[in-house]
Every structure is written in structure tokens, then in C-alpha cells.
Structure 1
């Protein structure tokens, strides 16, 4: 008999009243109960957990299996017990405080099966103030690994694991760690996995902060338990990942997240006599991971913190922790010193001769935030007009050297164009309590597309629009458009422009998705002209039987005057044109095709706009022919079906009275 698809393992200790929602969320999964088994391990609870598990087992017979054991002091032992009993193709660990979105397991199993992956991360959502990880859930990732993604920044076990992977490598949770026991298990699974999937477009796991804050992962306190698992994980990385960029990538988690938490949340609470020992032990533990070559990967605050830890500067470490907390509570960013084209944050001990901390620990040049706003963005003829402001956060706008940058997305071709710098009095007063002002951050750019490519027209391509913001010798590039005035639409505007070559060219100014930055599409790379031309079904004019009327819409922003015409092509490639007539200052137009201008034969119609054309739609199949008298002769026009049935096709001819009479006589004799 085949086993279940997923074994859900729930470690429960004094989990009421959260346990009920947890188990119910599994029972109601859209994957179906036939595909599930739930193994709940009661780790010696002393509240109503045992009784509630008994009740739930009766409510969900055949689904929920309850195991009881003496309290083990942590979640490792009950999870291991669940693993020993699991029969599913996959296992999923769910803490009794948390719960699943209805489609969570169905979506995660589909990701594993569809991509051949061994581990699947489902998007986590914090509940009740609990902070869930976010950096790895910015987009779906069908198949990735720990070295080319941010998945290593979540090492909680609330993930889907292929059980064959777990058993093949003998993975279990270490029972000798009071906290962090999940990290060795998950890290090893990551490294051994054939691939890792990320489901980011659905809320899979709801991570709950209990009202009593007594979550399994929050019971232990003090630095010592965290030093123990940190040492274990550093040893794991050194043994399993060769020195180099891959190890450095994983090490960043510990050198930033773990170290920061330990020195800010635990070290200050220890007695003075043990603080020195803790700091020395921390310095020893992280020493194999941190080297100077990693500094470019670290923000300045992390560099400074690690420098102080390495040199066992306890008082300075504690002062820096207080400074960080105060800065986070404040609405004012730390001031910077700009010198020699670099920016240095004025963090504690900056250029203090008694501490002699290197300037590199304070260098925030690459971390400087950019601010911009666009209040004008429009095409008029072949000229692109852009205006707004842009500056580097915390850097006074002196010696400004901002330029506009056009870069072709696929080829990388660049053109740097000048802007006019404009004053922006009082800019900056709405942030940092007005401490920093940016009086010369304005820009006004006028770009002639006919000469922007070193005196020649910009070639076809997707031209991303950026600014290189320069001030006091520091330059940062930023895409523009995501911050713009409300009156500037995000919808594309397509123009057919002359003066950019022998033929009119399509130029579309649009904003990208999802970021909303401006790009010029020259040459219909993403915005075909024909999509802007729509035509209604033709009809005979009620008052003029010789006139065929076709109404339509042209949503182009601009196009050459009188260029929109209906063209009918007849015998011997003869063509007759009929100009479009605008309707009431809208994007609507009408075509009036007077058939008296056509000679006998078969005629096909199309709408032309410069080099672009679309077929005129055919008359309805039940449309009657029309007749008229011209120069004493009788004429007719009747619709005919062409090969594809999608183009207006009309046969024009003279009525032959004798032939008509013969046909009628023949019909009477028959």
C-alpha cells in the first residue's frame, strides 16, 4: 500500500489554545486528507495539550496520530520521533503555535514534483508581531540553491523536505543544543538537495507570536546557548563548504544576523565578569569565517562591529550596540563626512586616536541612499523632456555633476547626456527632522532623439533611463521614474515620429513593471504599433448605398498628419485611398469608402499608417450586395470571402441586363 504524500510532524509542548488551529489547518489542506498523515508528538505538556490531541484524533480518525513522551527540553527530540514514524514521500515540520494556508502543501508538493527539487520553501507570514523572513520570498524560484539565492537566511524547519533525502543522509535534529537545533538539520538538507524551490506567491506558513511569548524558539535566553550552536554551524561550514565565494555567501548570515543579535540582545544582559569571556569566545568562533576580503559584502556597521569584536573591545562593542538601538528609534540618519570622493558615517569612535579604528570600517559610499522625483516626463516631437530632482541622502548638493544616462538594455550601449542643474530650495526638510538640505538637486533634461547617439538618431532598442547623481566627487547611478508626480501616467504612450530616419519610427515612453522606472522603446520591441489600431465591422451607409463605412480607434499619442488611410487594391495592383476622418476630438475615426471610385474587379482593403498596415475587416456574411446607377449604367458591389476570411474583399461590376434576363427565363423553364 502506498504511503501518504506528506507527513506533517507537529512537536507540541503546552501549545494551547494554538494547537487546535494548527491541526485544523493541516486537516483542511486542499491536497486532501488521503494524501496526508499528521504525527503530533506531545513532549510532556502540562496544560490541556494532551486532552485536545485526543479530541482531535477522534475528530480526524486515520489522519492524526498522537505520540506522548516525557519532556525533552526542546523541539529536537519530538521532531526526531516524528521522523522515525513518518511514511510520506515528503515531510513538513509545523510548530504547534503556527498554521498553514489552505493551499500550502498542494502548492509546495507541486513545486517539488514539477522541478525535481528536494526542499521547498513556502512564503512565511508573521502573525501577532512576529517577524518572518522576507528576502528569499521576493519572487518564485522554481529551482535554486543556497549559493545563488537568499534561502540560507531562513533555517527554520517549516519547509517541505523529500524524505528520501533526509533518510539517505541520516539527518536528525541534534538534541544537545538548547536553541538553534534546527540550523544543522536545515543547512545539511540545503547542501545535499538536488535543488531548492521557493513558493513566494502564496502565504503558506503563518508564524505566530504567542501572547505569552512562550514559543519553542524563544524559551532559551543568554549568550551561551547561542555561542554553542554558532560554533557548531561555523564548524559545519568550514568542513562542508570550501573556502571561497560560496562559503563567504553563507558566512554572511552568521557575521551579520547572528553576531548582531548576540551582542545586542544577550551580551549586555550578562554579568560584567562573563562579558569578557563571551566576547572572547565569540571572536574565536567567527575567526574562521571573517577575512578582509569580505568587507565589500558587509555594510559599514557590520564591519565596525566585527572589528571591535576581533580586538576584544568590550566597552566599545556595548556602546555601539546602544548607539544602534538609539539610531533605530530616531528619525535622523547618521551624518557623514565626505572626503576624497568617499563618504564616512560618523559612527562611534570615528577617527578617535585612542581606538585607531580604520576608516574602512566607516565607509558608506556604496550604501548611500538615493532620492529622486520626476515631475515632468513627455515626448514632444523627437524631443524627450525630463525634469525633477535627485540627490544622495545625507550629502549636501555642492559641486553637482549629475548627468542623464541612456543605456540599451540588451547591448549595453550607453549615451551620457548633460542636464541643466536647477535650484531646489528647502528640499529635504521632510526627512531627518530637516537636518540635511539639498538646495541644488534639480535637473532639467532636453534630449533630441535625432541626435542623442553622438549626433545621430538613437537606434532601435529598449533604452533604460537613469541618472548618474554626482556631488562632492561621489557618483551614484539610479533608475528614475518609480517616484513621480501623480499627474504623470504609468501607462505607455506610443508616438510615430518623423525625423529619425527615412520612415516614421515608433517610440514608446513607458514605465517598467514592477518597479515603475522609465524606458524608451524605439522600434516596437515591446509595444507594437498595430495594437493601437482597432476597426469595427464595416456597414453600408444608410443614406448612400455606394459608401462603405468603417469606424475605428487609434490610441497612438501622435502620428503624422493625414497618414491614416484606407487603401483598396484591385486588378493589376491598382490602389485607391480614402483618408480617415477624426471623430469628435477622440481617438475614434471613420473611413468612408465610396465604391464609385473603383473599377470592375476584385478589391481588397487595408488600413495604412506609414509603413504599418492592418487588414480591413470583412463585411458580415449576411450583408446584402448594393447597387447604384452611374453614367446611365447599373453597377453592383457584393462581398466575397477571401482565403483567410479576415480581410475586406469586395467585387465591383456592371449589371448585365441581358444576362440577367436569360437567367430568369432559364429559371422559369426549369
Structure 2
């Protein structure tokens, strides 16, 4: 059987040196590099970042890396560019400052099958992955490892981010990220693709997605109250519309309801931190 081709999609905005570590972790994968294609999508300001990324790519000629540029800011637009150009049998999303363990792709692809969403173990780190720590996603992964049958409810907490997963093409189909959202777009995308998922599989623990913690990252930046409130209201409406398309699935209804509660809880938490 031919090895499946893996498409890795990485959006980047005003990239720093972290992206080098990200690309290095891909180049050092034990999986056949001939069966990997990387889409690096620069969004927002072009200079001096585009030329900088070209120099970075030259350091890893063993990997097929395609560089795209879009003046439109936002990870949703960048990821959609990657999806539109992907020729792989399956998709992996990464953030430009995160790192994959060396056997990550080799381990994840062992579970590659139509309709199967494969999830990896997540650990967080600041500078050195050898000092990586567990977080709530790690805890949920470990708990679900012990369960014979995984459900979308039991793994729900790990469905707020699109990273640390492998998606066969038949799960994603024509689904794209909603460009109208700057926050919460991951959970909305996951709620769409979960409808096409027949089974959730946890990869072995040696497939680790290292999630870098940066205090000045976009995801941790403060959002004005009015903008944040408007965003969550629109998100809740979108989630409600999703369920209306699949009203007979009780488990999906509960999943959508819990995702909406999590959105509201996150909004309240952000207000108290200000």
C-alpha cells in the first residue's frame, strides 16, 4: 500500500524565529519526507517577512514547502488557502511556533482511515520541549485513553483547537474556516467536521504536539469588550445554525450546547482578567 501524503498547513503573521523550530521539527520527522507537503501562509504585512521566510525555507530543502502570501489578516483565511491548494490524503494544522515530536507523523498516520479523526497528546512549553508540561488537554487525552469507546462528548475539551489532529480528506470535504471570526473559529470548524467523523482515535502517547506558550501571542491579546461580545453572539448563532442542520442527533445537540456554554464561560473569564 502506498504511503498516504500528508499536507501540513501553517499560517504565520509577522513571524519570529520560532517558525524555524517549527519547520525543523517537520524536517526531522521519521515519516517519509517525500510524502509530506507544507503550506506556509504569510498573512498581513509582507515586508520584511516574506524574504525572511524564503531564507528559512532554504534551510530545509529536504521538505516540500510552499510559501503563500495574503494581505488579508487572520488564520482562517490563511488556513483556507492551504486547504484549497492541498493535494494530500490527510491534513494537519500547526501554529508557526509549535513543535512536533520526531515520530509524530509516523504515529498519527498508523490510524489513518476514512472517517477517523486522529488526536494526539498535547503538552505545553515556553522555550524547551524537554521541560514541557501537561495541561487540560493532556489530562483529557489521558482520561480518554482508558475509555474503550470515545465519544464526541468525552473528547469535547480537545475539540476547541484544530491543531494536534490528523484529518482524512473525507472528514473535511468542502468545509472551510469562517473568515468572519477572529476568535472561536477553531471550535466552529471542529463542530462542522465532527459531523463527518465516524470514529475518534487517540494516537499513541509518543505522538506529542508541543504547544508553545507565549504571553504576547495573538490568542492571548486583549480584545475590546464590545468586539468580544459581538463575536461570541455571532458564534452562538452560528453554532445554533449548525445544529439545525442535524436536529435528530441528540449527542450532537449536547455537544453544540456545551460548546456554546464554553464560549460564554471564556468571555466571562476574559472580562475578569482585565
TM-score band by shorter chain is: 0.7 to 0.9
Map of 1:331 onto structure 2: none
Map of 2:112 onto structure 1: 112
Map of 1:156 onto structure 2: 161
Find the aligned partners of 2:203 and 2:39 in 1 and give their Cα distance.
24
Find the aligned partners of 1:6 and 1:252 in 2 and give their Cα distance.
32
Offset, 1:123: 0.9
Q: Which has the higher contact order (CA 8 A, sep 6+)?
A: 2
Map of 1:13 onto structure 2: 13
Map of 1:184 onto structure 2: 188
Offset, 1:46: 5.6
Task: Sort the Cα spacing of 1:244 and 1:165 in 2 relative to 1 into closer, same or farther, 3 A.
Answer: closer
Gaps of 5+ in 2: 127-132
Task: Sort the Cα spacing of 1:54 and 1:41 in 2 relative to 1 into closer, same or farther, 3 A.
Answer: same
Aligned partner (choices 239, 248, 251) of residue 254 of structure 2: 248
SS in 2 for 1:97: coil
Map of 1:123 onto structure 2: 121
Question: Greater helix percent: which structure?
Answer: 2
Task: Sort the Cα spacing of 1:135 and 1:223 in 2 relative to 1 into closer, same or farther, 3 A.
Answer: farther
SS in 1 for 2:205: strand
Map of 2:129 onto structure 1: none
Find the aligned partners of 2:31 and 2:8 in 1 and give their Cα distance.
13
Is residue 90 from structure 1 mapped to residue 90 from structure 2 by the alignment? yes
Find the aligned partners of 2:170 and 2:13 in 1 and give their Cα distance.
28
SS in 1 for 2:183: coil
Task: Map 1:492-641 to 2 at 5 A.
Answer: none
SS in 2 for 1:76: helix
Find the aligned partners of 1:266 and 1:156 in 2 and give their Cα distance.
21
Gaps of 5+ in 1: 270-670
Aligned partner (choices 214, 223, 237) of residue 231 of structure 1: 237
Map of 2:70 onto structure 1: 69
Map of 2:205 onto structure 1: 201
CA contact (8 A) 2:107 2:207 kept: no
Offset, 1:242: 3.3
Task: Sort the Cα spacing of 1:21 and 1:245 in 2 relative to 1 into closer, same or farther, 3 A.
Answer: closer
Offset, 1:143: 6.7
Task: Sort the Cα spacing of 1:110 and 1:203 in 2 relative to 1 into closer, same or farther, 3 A.
Answer: closer
Cα RMSD between the aligned structures? 2.8
Aligned partner (choices 161, 166, 171) of residue 172 of structure 2: 166
Task: Sort the Cα spacing of 1:106 and 1:45 in 2 relative to 1 into closer, same or farther, 3 A.
Answer: farther
Task: Sort the Cα spacing of 1:84 and 1:118 in 2 relative to 1 into closer, same or farther, 3 A.
Answer: same
Task: Sort the Cα spacing of 1:42 and 1:249 in 2 relative to 1 into closer, same or farther, 3 A.
Answer: closer
Map of 2:130 onto structure 1: none
Using the size of structure 1 for normalisation, the TM-score is: 0.36
Matched residue pairs, number?
259
Find the aligned partners of 2:112 and 2:140 in 1 and give their Cα distance.
17
Find the aligned partners of 1:268 and 1:126 in 2 and give their Cα distance.
21
Larger CA Rg, structure 1 vs 2: 1
CA contact (8 A) 2:229 2:267 kept: yes
Offset, 1:219: 4.1
Using the size of structure 2 for normalisation, the TM-score is: 0.82
SS in 2 for 1:205: strand
Task: Sort the Cα spacing of 1:50 and 1:202 in 2 relative to 1 into closer, same or farther, 3 A.
Answer: same
Task: Sort the Cα spacing of 1:21 and 1:229 in 2 relative to 1 into closer, same or farther, 3 A.
Answer: same
Question: Greater strand percent: which structure?
Answer: 1
Aligned partner (choices 188, 213, 217) of residue 214 of structure 1: 217
